Structure 1
Amino acid sequence: MAQKYNLLVIDDEQPIMDEIKSYFEKRDFTVTTALSGEEGLEKLRHQAFDVALIDLCMPTMSGLEVIETINAELIPVNIAILTGHGGEKEAIAALNMGGIVHAWFAKGKYGMDELYQRVKRLAQVIPDDKLDDFFSMFETAA
């Protein structure tokens, strides 16, 4: 059985979340969704995710604010962002936040297969907080 990766999709547009969830769950992902930045942060604080796919333009709490909070709270997750029309400035700001954002997708301008391939590559990256465990497997007992 293939490994299941955990993806969190934070977006205020239900149809987009449903499309991503359906596509990814037919492959090797378990997908959790959140309709707001606040809801997404609560899920990130209580469950481990390999990747968070975050919309930048949301009411009450923007995706940029979500990313800033993830960074401040040192939540271990790889981040990819979604942006709609006019979000290029915010996307560039997110990409410049110390290397925690690893991919950017413009809504309506990506194919689901491309999104899946890039998110899967992010999910396969070993997070920094797990590297010690990974390398300890190769150490020999003294």
Structure 2
Amino acid sequence: MAQFTAQLTAQLDRLGHHGVRRGGHERPPTLVAVAHGSRDPEALRTVHALLDRVRALRPGLPVRLGHIELNQPLLTDTLAALRGEAVLVPLLLSRGHHIKQDIPAAVAAAPHLTARIAAPLGPDPLLAEALHARLAEAGRP
């Protein structure tokens, strides 16, 4: 988790304070974390903990959550409630159907927004290391 936090902090630092002027007349784009959704309540707790960390690192950044399925709020509902600019950050581990179809379709259904879609979390070497660590903890070398 420490490596992930360090990577997240570095990426947020690269974003800087885009859209924020000293007078406060302009808002930064809203960061929309896009989670898959899960029946496992631990998954939702983990996503909320991650977003709490992002909010702590960037207190002036509006941060929202949208799920592709299974949990509320759904991505389409989150986007419908927003105005202005948004950056969607898929909390997904691959570049599959949700990245290629579902997320762009949700953005297309929100023409009132100016939206950009970031790359998914994976594939990434940190994810492979985390998977290996979890398997080792479970007794699978």
Normalised by the length of structure 2, the TM-score is 0.44
Normalised by the length of structure 1, the TM-score is 0.43
Task: Give the number of the structure whose residues are more often strand, by fraction.
Answer: 1
